[in-house]
Structure 1
Amino acid sequence: MAQLYYRYSTMNAGKSAEIIRIAHNYEERSKRVLTLTPSVDDRYGLGVITSRIGIQREALVVNENTNILELFMMENTKEEISCVLIDEAQFLKRHHVEELVEIVDSCDVPVLAYGLKNDFRNELFEGSYYLLVYADKIEEIKTICWCGRKATMVARIVDGKLVKTGEQIVIGGNDMYVSLCRKHYNDGRIGPKIKK
């Protein structure tokens, strides 16, 4: 029986690498996967899932108006899809998550969505909120803060300092975001000897 999985973490935990690994595993067994990525994340080009460890794979682009269920049905008529994988799922809209639920429940195809849970202000993204509501299985992928504790927060860095205000979605990488434990997120230390 298929399920909707939401696997979340802070940045730099290996989410994109895991998607690429799972896709490879399916394809080695002659199974087709549908990989998706939101259009808002264009750091490495549109339609590309890229891991910081240097591997990447092409994906179909989902924008705000995309109906993922319709996209799935169209692609499934070309060749049967065994699994749906989504990177940066925090950027999905409510209707996207509901369409993923329909793929799982009506088509009996597993969906694995990967993304951040909370933003730099420590608030949920729309996609992560509805994935937490609808997912059959919720799993945390762990990474660590500079101090060695488990990182649970994503901090935005501007001019070398942690900021907690601004637009929710500003695309960036290691130059702009760092994963921190709650203690260092709250006290503003983004590294040893670096103050807020």
Structure 2
Amino acid sequence: MNSGKTTILLQTAHNYEERGMKVLIIKPKVDSKGEDYIVSRIGLKRKVDHLIENGENIFTYIKDHDEGVKCILVDEAQFLEAIQVDELMQVVVRLNIPVICYGLRTDFRTNGFPGATRLLEIAHTIEEMKTICACGRKAMFNGRKINGKFIFDGEQVAIDGEDKITYESLCPYCYYDKLSKYRKLKEQLRK
């Protein structure tokens, strides 16, 4: 969260295209932020070439639409299904097209997303993109806020900007401090 993943994806696309190479930019449809665009925090945006449906076979789609594609770029890869990550690996192995995925490792409860977990299991290389917490330490977790208040319950997937939901990158110290305060408040409300 807030590490510049989408900005780097857009730069990567530019680098390929500047050299006359075609890229295919895809993202899971469940990521409704930006609709059929990928949007970076610094204001850059670009229309995606394909929105991936849940249950869709990505390998089949790419095989049928790979005319001259030199690289596949995937935004918000954490929202992929595990089998779709396997299908992307088949794109690399069988079609010989590099696939670069950008996404989060864990959700706001520090649990892995199915797509991210599978990527961590089978990716050729993994590059961590770093960002910082408001306290200045390295951020490792994502805090979910509703109406400006941190919460630690709810559905795994809730898109930033919907229903007054925002996210904040947190270091472990701040994350667990906020979690502890949240639990204490919840306990007080039960009494």
Q: Which sections of structure 1, spanning at least 5 residues, go unmatched? A: 1-10, 190-194
Gaps of 5+ in 2: 180-184, 187-191
Report the AA paired with residue 176 of structure 1.
T
Q: CA deviation at 1:95?
A: 1.3
Runs of 4+ in 1 over 3 A off after TM superposition: none
Tell me the equivalent position of 1:192: none
Deviation per residue, 1:134-155 (Å, 9 max, x gap): 1010110000000111000000
1:160 Cα deviation from its structure 2 partner: 2.5
Tell me, yes or no, if structure 1 residue 66 matches structure 2 residue 56: yes
Give the aligned residue type for 1:100: L
Matched, 1:17 2:7: yes
Aligned to 2:69: 81
Q: Does 1:125 align with 2:113?
A: yes
Q: Structure 1: which amino acid aligns with 2:177?
A: D
> C-alpha distance in 1, partners of 2:82/2:165?
30
Shift of 1:71: 1.1
- 1:106 corresponds in structure 2 to 94
Counterpart of 2:53, as a letter, is: N
Partner of 1:141: 129
Give the counterpart of 1:32 among 8, 22, 40: 22
Partner residue of 1:165? 153
Which residue does 1:54 correspond to in 2? 43
- The alignment's TM-score, normalised by the length of structure 1, stands at 0.87
Residue in structure 1 matched with residue 172 of structure 2 by the alignment = 182
Please provide the CA RMSD for this pair. 1.7
**In 2, distance between residues paired with 1:136 and 1:73?**
21
User: Contact between 1:37 and 1:48, CA under 8 Å: does it hold in 2?
Assistant: no
TM-score by length of 2: 0.89
Instruction: Kindly state the Cα deviation for residue 159 of structure 1 after the two structures are TM-superposed.
Output: 3.1
How far residue 30 of structure 1 moved from its aligned partner, in angstroms, is: 0.8
| 2:12 counterpart SS class | helix
Higher strand share: 1
Count of aligned positions: 178
| TM-superposed deviation, 1:161 | 2.0
Could you say which structure has the larger radius of gyration?
2
Larger RCO, structure (CA 8 Å, separation 6 or more): 1
**Identity %, equivalent residues:** 43
